[in-house]
Amino acid sequence: MKIISGLQQYGDYGWAWTEPDYIGQSSCRCRTNGDGEGLWYWARSGATNLPEMTPVMEWKQIMGTCQFYLPRNRKAAYSRLYRRWKQNNQYEAR
Domain assignment present for residue 73? The answer is: yes
Mean pLDDT of the residues in the chain: 86
Domain with 48, as residue range(s), is 5-86
Domain assignment present for residue 43? The answer is: yes
- The whole-number average pLDDT for the span 65-88 is 92
Strand order in the sheet with 5-10: 5-10, 14-20, 27-31, 39-49, 54-63
Tally the domains of the chain. 1
Domain assignment present for residue 94? The answer is: no
Distance, CA of 76 to chain centre: 16
Domain assignment present for residue 23? The answer is: yes
What is the C-alpha to C-alpha distance for residues 34 and 51, in angstroms, rounded to an integer? 34
Check pLDDT > 80 for residue 1.
no
Domain assignment present for residue 92? The answer is: no
Domain assignment present for residue 64? The answer is: yes
Domain assignment present for residue 20? The answer is: yes
Domain assignment present for residue 91? The answer is: no
Burial per residue of 12-42, b for 16 or more beta-carbon CB atoms within 10 angstroms, e otherwise: ebbbbbbbbeeeeeeeeebbbbeebbbbbbe
pTM, whole model, 2 decimals? 0.79
pLDDT tens readout for residues 10-40: 999 999 999 876 655 668 899 999 999 999 9
